[in-house]
Structures are given as structure tokens and as C-alpha cells.
């Protein structure tokens, strides 16, 4: 019995530690604090390290530093592939890996024929392992939004996936891997905007800011749509 209690406490403390680091990474990302993201990547391992590099890549992309963004993205992919090698049932790492492969297509469109299927396989693996992970539906929505219609993309399909992601986030806050809820509202807002649903898009940008008041992207989008 004592051994079981000790294991439970260890799992609980590890989950709490991961969430604390994830919260710090998300705050740094929303504030485009690249130095904090670099430090977070250096201080962590596995999935959390990969998340820091992924967020750093996005921040570097916003700053128009593509070479640095590609390097950070490659480091995120390497960390995730290592995490999956150690634990093939790590649904969160599979999901984030799918998103990283998808993001890399934007830098290397000539490799879309290779990276697209890899992204799809990783996302499907994550979904099979845990269909209730909201980030799976978030990434599926982002991919549907960014993929041209001639290759199967759809803004309507993106909205449907993001609806599911937002619903799943209600039960995700104690998962130890909680992040992405505000982002889901932003992407759904963009999809509403693309389908001429202005009031819904503004409402989603506002909702994103109620969740994450420091979300610079949501602030910019809301400002430009009022």
C-alpha cells in the first residue's frame, strides 16, 4: 500500500511540474519572449523541451527569422521523435509531432509529399492512443485550415474539428499537459472570418483573451476586426 501511495505521489508531482513548465512556456510564447523560450528548452527534456522549441519556432516565424525558426522546429521534432522512441504510447508527443511536421511544410513546400503523410500518420496515431486529447482536434483543425482546398483542406472542416477541440478542453485542465485552448478559439475565429461569419469570429477572439489576457495574436486580430 505504501508503495502504491508513493508511486501516486510521484506521478502527481511530475504532472504538476510539467504543467508549471508548460504554463511558463505558453506565457512566454504569447509575449513573444524568445529568450525565456530558449531557457525553457535548455531546462527541460522530452515533450516539454519540444514544446518550448515549437513555440520558439512560431515566435521566430512571427519575427520573420525563418532560418532560426527552421532550426528550432528541427530541434522540436528531434526531441519528439526521441520521446516517442522512449514511449511509443505518448499521445501528446505524437500529436505535437504531427503539428511540427505540418508547420515544416510551410518552410519546405517542396517536401510536402513526404511531410504531409508523416504528419497524417502521427496525428492518427495520437488519436488512436487517446481520442479525447483536445490538441489532436486542435492540430487537425489547423491543418484543415492551412491545407489548400485542392489538397483536401476546408475551412468548414476546420470549424468542426475546432468545435470538438474546444469541447474537449473543458476536461483537460487537470491533465498535466493543458495548453492550446485560447489558440483553438483564435483558429476557429479565423475560420469563421474566412467563411464570412464576422460576429462569431470577433466573439472567438474575445474568448481567447478571457482565457489568456496576454495573447498578443488574439489582441491584434481583435483590434483589426473592430
For the chain, the domain total comes to 2
In a domain, 6, yes or no: no
Distance between CA atoms of residues 81 and 88, nearest Å:
9
Indicate if 198 and 155 belong to the same structural domain. yes
The CATH number given to whatever domain includes residue 145 is 1.25.40.10
The mean predicted confidence, pLDDT, of the chain is: 90
- Tell me: pLDDT of 79 over 50: yes
In a domain, 114, yes or no: yes
Indicate if 181 and 146 belong to the same structural domain. yes
In a domain, 55, yes or no: yes
- Tell me: pLDDT of 4 over 90: no
In a domain, 4, yes or no: no
Q: Global pTM?
A: 0.88
Domain termination site, one of 77, 112, 129: 129
Domain holding 174, by residue range, is 132-226
Instruction: State the pLDDT at residue 175.
Output: 87
Instruction: State the pLDDT at residue 12.
Output: 36
* Cβ-Cβ contacts under 8 Å for 37 (sequence gap 6 or more): 25, 28, 29, 52, 53, 55, 56, 59
CB atoms under 10 Å from CB of 73, counted, come to 24
173-188 per-position pLDDT tens digit: 888 999 999 999 999 9
Indicate if 78 and 110 belong to the same structural domain. yes
Indicate if 121 and 187 belong to the same structural domain. no
SS3 226: coil
Indicate if 125 and 144 belong to the same structural domain. no
Instruction: State the pLDDT at residue 151.
Output: 84
Position 13 confidence tier, pLDDT thresholds 50, 70, 90: very low
Indicate if 21 and 107 belong to the same structural domain. yes
Position 62 confidence tier, pLDDT thresholds 50, 70, 90: confident
The CATH number given to whatever domain includes residue 20 is 1.25.40
CB atoms under 10 Å from CB of 148, counted, come to 8
Give the mean pLDDT of 28-47.
95
Distance between CA atoms of residues 140 and 178, nearest Å:
17
Domain termination site, one of 108, 129, 150: 129
Instruction: State the pLDDT at residue 15.
Output: 43
Indicate if 125 and 142 belong to the same structural domain. no
SS3 113: helix
Domain termination site, one of 104, 129, 154: 129
Amino acid at each position: 500500500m505504501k508503495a502504491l501511495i508513493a508511486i501516486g505521489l510521484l506521478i502527481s508531482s511530475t504532472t504538476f511540474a510539467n504543467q508549471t513548465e508548460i504554463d511558463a512556456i505558453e506565457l512566454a510564447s504569447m509575449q513573444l519572449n524568445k529568450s525565456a523560450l530558449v531557457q525553457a528548452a535548455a531546462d527541460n527534456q522530452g515533450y516539454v523541451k519540444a514544446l518550448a522549441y515549437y513555440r520558439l519556432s512560431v515566435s521566430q516565424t512571427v519575427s520573420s527569422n525563418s532560418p532560426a525558426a527552421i532550426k528550432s522546429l528541427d530541434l522540436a521534432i528531434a526531441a519528439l521523435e526521441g520521446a516517442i522512441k522512449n514511449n511509443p504510447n505518448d499521445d501528446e508527443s505524437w500529436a505535437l509531432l504531427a503539428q511540427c511536421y505540418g508547420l515544416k511544410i510551410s518552410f519546405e513546400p517542396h517536401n510536402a509529399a513526404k511531410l504531409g503523410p508523416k504528419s497524417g500518420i502521427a496525428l492518427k496515431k495520437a488519436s488512436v492512443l487517446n481520442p479525447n486529447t483536445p490538441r489532436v482536434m486542435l492540430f487537425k483543425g489547423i491543418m484543415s485550415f492551412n491545407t489548400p482546398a485542392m489538397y483536401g483542406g476546408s475551412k468548414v472542416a476546420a470549424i468542426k474539428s475546432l468545435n470538438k477541440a474546444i469541447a474537449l478542453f473543458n476536461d483537460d485542465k487537470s491533465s498535466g499537459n493543458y495548453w492550446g485552448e485560447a489558440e483553438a478559439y483564435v483558429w476557429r475565429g479565423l475560420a469563421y472570418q474566412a467563411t464570412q461569419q464576422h460576429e462569431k469570429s470577433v466573439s472567438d477572439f474575445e474568448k481567447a483573451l478571457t482565457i489568456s489576457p496576454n495573447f498578443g495574436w488574439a489582441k491584434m486580430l481583435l483590434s483589426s476586426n473592430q
